[in-house]
Structure 1
């Protein structure tokens, strides 16, 4: 399969079956706007860094046959778009792609005094996992993990422990846009150094497809 990172949480997955799945096109991401032949769009939750509704609407205009899978919290923002509401435990086959919705259904806590948000993790074709903004355990093998590298709801120790718990063949750091460049590099190095045996950490160059 091939993966392309468009910044922060946004990743294009091109499956071995030649299906194109775009995950979390948000405000911190860029260069996804001109993508074509997108079979499926997945939105983990409605926070703007994961869902830029205005640019997503324009993207759907150029990909009229695509479907958006999202949680209940994104319904209002996506009114009028071809969407399917899903929650953890759901198993869907859309556009030739098998999607298992994972996680506990809730965004990791930033602070108890802030309102909570729903959150979907997505496992594609039983191989690629995007957990969204939560580090919920998954009791199933994962080939490729899109591992969060930073955010106001996590510290890097938690990301490392999550990476060790999932123990994928390949880990792709994402969710890094809120970090200064020096801290991005530091967190990537820590994930690489402290990854479990058998896991390769691959830092994708922005907008460049890479086979993994």
Structure 2
């Protein structure tokens, strides 16, 4: 399997000719991909999903399904985009991809900011994308898409989360709110949390990793 990291939280996974798009939001380039069998969205915030991004993918891949928690369904309803609603403990098989969903809530930003639905996805029991959360899928993680910058993220908590999951490999995501200097600093701390038990692979937007 291959994962290509795009800007911020968006990733495109490829298995043979089939592709799975994760979190195509407004901080990401226009996602142009063929062979897409599903779009998985962890939560409704626009840096993770926009109607325009999803419609662009569906226009090119009319048989693709959109999967996400209830908040995503509500966010895309006005655009007449159907969503297969999932929550913690649900499972879906789409094309060659096996999807297990974990978690229910977005990490706290501030007491004044409503907490929205957030459901992370474990793909083929190997790659875990937690969305905006510190969700533990409860199984060994081979490859973790690890958020490194966000209004809700504290570096100490991020390091504790990654150290507890102990993934075999990780790569940083969710970096659009950071300057280049901040990204380097946060990624260095992520590396410290990963390397006692695994390795960190830094992917710039457009770069891919085969695993």
TM category, shorter: over 0.9
Q: Which residue of 1 aligns with 2:196?
A: 197
Whether contact under 8 Å (1:97, 1:124) holds in the other structure is: yes
Q: Which residue of 2 aligns with 1:92?
A: 92
Q: Which residue of 1 aligns with 2:136?
A: 137
| Structure-1-length-normalised TM-score | 0.93
Q: Which residue of 2 aligns with 1:180?
A: 179
Which 10-residue stretch deviates more, 71-80 or 131-140? 71-80
Task: Give ranges in structure 2 of 5+ residues lacking alignment.
Answer: none
Instruction: Report the CA distance shift for 1:58/1:18 in structure 2 as closer, same or farther (over 3 A).
Output: closer
Residue 157 of structure 2 aligns to a residue whose secondary structure is helix
Q: Which residue of 2 aligns with 1:81?
A: 81
What is the CA–CA distance in structure 1 between the aligned matches of 2:19 and 2:53, rounded to whole Å?
18
Alignment of 1:25 onto 2:24: yes
* 1:114-125 mapped onto 2 (5 Å cutoff): 114-125=113-124
Task: Give ranges in structure 1 of 5+ residues lacking alignment.
Answer: none
Residue 64 of structure 1 aligns to a residue whose secondary structure is coil
Matched positions, count:
209
The Cα of 1:147 is off from its aligned counterpart by: 0.6
What is the CA–CA distance in structure 2 between the aligned matches of 1:176 and 1:55, rounded to whole Å?
19
Output one character per residue of 1:85-117: Cα deviation in whole Å (capped at 9) or x when no partner. 1011111112232111102x0111111121110
The 4+ residue runs of structure 1 with deviation greater than 6 A are none
Whether contact under 8 Å (2:24, 2:50) holds in the other structure is: yes
Output one character per residue of 1:96-140: Cα deviation in whole Å (capped at 9) or x when no partner. 32111102x011111112111000100011111000001022221
Q: Which residue of 2 aligns with 1:159?
A: 158
Alignment of 1:4 onto 2:14: no
Whether contact under 8 Å (1:107, 1:117) holds in the other structure is: yes
Output one character per residue of 1:139-190: Cα deviation in whole Å (capped at 9) or x when no partner. 2111110011011111111111111111111101101100111100111111
Residue 190 of structure 1 aligns to a residue whose secondary structure is helix
Q: Which residue of 1 aligns with 2:49?
A: 51
* 1:103-118 mapped onto 2 (5 Å cutoff): 103=103, 105-118=104-117
The Cα of 1:82 is off from its aligned counterpart by: 4.2
Whether contact under 8 Å (1:31, 1:207) holds in the other structure is: no
Residue 101 of structure 2 aligns to a residue whose secondary structure is strand
Residue 146 of structure 1 aligns to a residue whose secondary structure is strand
Whether contact under 8 Å (2:73, 2:82) holds in the other structure is: no
Residue 39 of structure 1 aligns to a residue whose secondary structure is strand
